[in-house]
Structure 1
Amino acid sequence: MSVEFWTMGAGSLQTPEQLRSGMQQAPLTGTQQAVRAEEIGYDGIVYVDNQNRWGDCYVTLALAAHATSHIQLGTGVTNSYTRHPIVTAAAIATVQAESGGRVHMGIGRGDSALANLGLAPHAVGPFERYLEQLQAYLRGDEVPFEAGDVETLGLSDRPVASRIAWIGSVKPKVPVDVAATGPRVIAAAARHADRVSLNVGADVSRTRWAMEVARTARDEAGLSPEIPFAAYLPLVVHDDPREATRIGAGNTSLFARFSTMHGKVVGPATAHQQAVFEAIHAAYDMHHHSVPGSAQEAVVTAEFEHEFGIFGPPNYCVERLSQLIELGIDRFILRGSPLDPDDPDSASCERFVQDVVPQLRTL
């Protein structure tokens, strides 16, 4: 099985939190992040979609496509609320054409992008309908109108369905990759996506549970139970495990929050994991989403970090990732050390590709 290793980036601009932290230099732009990731040796990079905190992910993808030659590119993740499905499809298909077919459509129900608009994540039912329409647009199908008032214009003729007229020139079709944590979203992803990206941590029992939810949903829908799986993980390579967890603590709370989004923990969890998940939910401050030193980061214990994320020397990372590869995960989307070479914690990014990936390629 061929395994891919992706990193995460964001559109340009320095956030107020970075300015308050005393950062003297602006971080790498989104384009520079892609160039850096390609130079280091990552297979792909995804960009977050949060209109309030970062530059536009689709503009960044298009610029990155022209600044790189072979690295794969994607959204990690966009959402099903802030754009009509044909707008999302047209945007990602445009980047697919500009990149020579290197793009992946990562999508979820929305989190910080919606919270900054006063909204909760998109409900599962409408989200699944959005996935159906998104896939139809990307295939070039017509999608009937659900509602509208164009008839009030008194036109002699008018469209009754919508499609992307130029999509036939875009090859291959953009694959849709759904980021999922809870059982209902995992099932919807399994029915309509080309890949399911699990955000349940690095715990083998939780990952196995999520994969079985997806396979059962596909079987019940009359589909082949097999579908490609990816995993979003917090991971830092460092010879000192304590230093590794320091670097990655904020990302642990960020990723773990999705398992307790509405206060109820989803998936199997030990009593200790359950308590920490609940504490993250109670402490979560969206003003400090992805910002080091947050209240939610403070409630994460060392034991929980060890189980949910992967933090430590190269051989330890190889061991933990190998367990997930054996389950059938063939793509890892990793958030840990920054890509910026001017950041003192950035060495982990290169060490991962140099010291961990070669060992995993031989499995």
Structure 2
Amino acid sequence: MTVEAWTLLPSLPKVASRDAVAAEQEGWTGVMLADSQNLAAELVVEMAMCAARTSRIRVSPGVTNSVTRHPAVLAGAMATLQAESSGRISVDIGRGDSSLAHLGFAPMGVKPFQRYVTTLRAYLRGEEVDFDPGFMPSGVRPLHTIDLGKAPGMSRLGWLRGDQPAVPVNVAATGPKMIAFGAVAADGVSLSVGADPARIAAAISAAREAREAAGLDPESLVVGAYLNVAVHDDLATAAQITSGKLASFTRFSVMHGSVTGFATEADRAELARFGGTYDMTAHGRADAQHTQGLSLEFMSRNAVIGDSKTVLERLWELRGLGVSRFILTEDFSRTGVAGESHRQLVEEVLPELLRWS
């Protein structure tokens, strides 16, 4: 299966598209932008700017959510970008995190999320979709309560061309229910369970079992993994570079009050301690107090850190387990030690990674 290398970019005006141009020159397969309206610029606008300023690289939310946009609105936006970019768009979607926290809400429940993704994919295929009041805010009346000569009986993207490539949808998942759903009902699953090979292997095994139970080929599943990466000869320095982003992704394993995501016994106690200390007002920041709650030993297993040789060996091991879509998350800074880490990643790791197809 073709190996893809994606990089997560800061979603800021003028910055995201500038970095997308640089990422295309560096050789990345694709770029991802966070969808978090209070912490980042508007996703669709920045995706459009990235696509407009590049010609080859793919563009995706990393990740969008199932709450802040009606599935028809999200599908319409992504399908439009797909048409304008000549087929370079994909979607990673999850239940919501910082985007909802800054509106005062917790992530969407698993079953409503599953309904959302199923509906989203139907819209993206140009299919007719039943009206679903569950996707609308309270206080909006059903259409049949007003007088019309003739009203639509179903919903669909009527402008969508039949020959346009469908937008791939990948479910960003940590827990077993989400992993199993994504493996069966989406184009791929993007694991957010850290970088420990034991956790990755358990998650992939669960995904393949779900596909087999559904009568699907388990080997055809596209498996992605969000991996926090820093390249530096000194392990402690590498850990510090990636600490802010790693803390954000680590929280997904304990955000609902109990440890999930196939955590190893070695990690369960540390994850349980970490869960209640996370400061959402310092989301993703390396200087956040909650980063101090992660030991170097934990970070060395759950992030991909070390010198370039070590990083390549770690990624190769995950490739052997079945990961083909590597979503490498770095510190957004391109200065100081973070800048040197990025340079080594691009020059010494990325070219080899892309040869593993």
* TM-score band, normalised by shorter chain: over 0.9
Q: Which amino acid aligns with 1:266?
A: T
Does the 8 A contact of 2:253 with 2:259 survive in 1?
Answer: yes
Q: Distance in 2 between matches of 1:270 and 1:213?
A: 15
Deviation digits for residues 21-49 of structure 1, max 9, x if unmatched?
xxxxxxx6111121121122211110000
Q: TM-score, normalised on structure 1?
A: 0.92
Which residue does the alignment assign to 1:24?
none
| Greater CA drift, 290-299 or 132-141 | 290-299
Which residue does the alignment assign to 1:68?
54
Pair 1:251-2:245 in alignment: yes
Which residue of 159, 178, 181 maps to 1:185?
A: 178
Q: Distance in 1 between matches of 2:334 and 2:257?
A: 38
Does the 8 A contact of 1:194 with 1:228 survive in 2?
Answer: yes
Q: Distance in 2 between matches of 1:146 and 1:311?
A: 45
Q: Distance in 1 between matches of 2:336 and 2:23?
A: 15
Which residue does the alignment assign to 1:278?
272
1:288-327 equivalent positions in 2, closer than 5 A = 288-327=282-321
3-state SS, counterpart of residue 6 of structure 2: strand
Does the 8 A contact of 2:195 with 2:302 survive in 1?
Answer: yes
Q: Which amino acid aligns with 2:58?
A: Q
191 and 108 in structure 1: CA distance in 2 versus 1, 3 angstrom threshold:
same
Which residue does the alignment assign to 1:33?
19
Does the 8 A contact of 2:245 with 2:331 survive in 1?
Answer: no
Pair 1:202-2:188 in alignment: no
3-state SS, counterpart of residue 276 of structure 2: helix
Pair 1:100-2:86 in alignment: yes
Q: Which amino acid aligns with 1:305?
A: M
Q: Which amino acid aligns with 1:190?
A: A
Q: Which amino acid aligns with 1:295?
A: Q
3-state SS, counterpart of residue 324 of structure 2: strand
- In the TM superposition, residue 327 of structure 1 has moved relative to its aligned partner by 0.9
- In the TM superposition, residue 336 of structure 1 has moved relative to its aligned partner by 1.4
- Specify every segment of 5 or more residues in structure 2 that has no aligned partner in the other structure, as ranges: 134-140
Pair 1:123-2:117 in alignment: no
Does the 8 A contact of 1:208 with 1:327 survive in 2?
Answer: yes
Q: Distance in 1 between matches of 2:324 and 2:334?
A: 28
Q: Which amino acid aligns with 1:287?
A: T
Deviation digits for residues 175-229 of structure 1, max 9, x if unmatched?
0011000011111212211010000111111111111221222222232223100
- In the TM superposition, residue 101 of structure 1 has moved relative to its aligned partner by 0.6
3-state SS, counterpart of residue 31 of structure 2: strand
Q: TM-score, normalised on structure 2?
A: 0.93
Which residue of 213, 218, 231 maps to 1:225?
A: 218
Does the 8 A contact of 1:97 with 1:170 survive in 2?
Answer: no
Which residue does the alignment assign to 2:68?
82
Does the 8 A contact of 2:66 with 2:93 survive in 1?
Answer: yes
Q: Which amino acid aligns with 2:127?
A: D
Deviation digits for residues 206-253 of structure 1, max 9, x if unmatched?
111111221222222232223100000100111222211110111221
Does the 8 A contact of 2:100 with 2:107 survive in 1?
Answer: yes
Q: Which amino acid aligns with 1:138?
A: L
3-state SS, counterpart of residue 252 of structure 2: helix
Q: Which amino acid aligns with 1:321?
A: L
Deviation digits for residues 247-290 of structure 1, max 9, x if unmatched?
01112211111111112111443444112211220111111111
Pair 1:91-2:62 in alignment: no
Does the 8 A contact of 1:40 with 1:350 survive in 2?
Answer: no
Q: Distance in 1 between matches of 2:281 and 2:354?
A: 39
3-state SS, counterpart of residue 283 of structure 1: coil
Which residue does the alignment assign to 1:156?
149
Q: Distance in 2 between matches of 1:239 and 1:229?
A: 29
Deviation digits for residues 275-327 of structure 1, max 9, x if unmatched?
22112201111111111221220100000001100111111011100011001
Which residue of 330, 334, 341 maps to 1:348?
A: 341
Does the 8 A contact of 1:93 with 1:170 survive in 2?
Answer: no
Q: Distance in 2 between matches of 1:362 and 1:73?
A: 21
Which residue does the alignment assign to 2:37?
51
Deviation digits for residues 114-137 of structure 1, max 9, x if unmatched?
001111000000000001100100
Q: Distance in 2 between matches of 1:101 and 1:185?
A: 27
Q: Distance in 1 between matches of 2:343 and 2:78?
A: 29
Q: Distance in 1 between matches of 2:76 and 2:353?
A: 36
Which residue does the alignment assign to 1:334?
328
Q: Distance in 2 between matches of 1:185 and 1:198?
A: 10
Does the 8 A contact of 1:35 with 1:64 survive in 2?
Answer: yes
- Specify every segment of 5 or more residues in structure 1 that has no aligned partner in the other structure, as ranges: 14-27
Does the 8 A contact of 1:10 with 1:57 survive in 2?
Answer: no
Does the 8 A contact of 2:5 with 2:354 survive in 1?
Answer: no
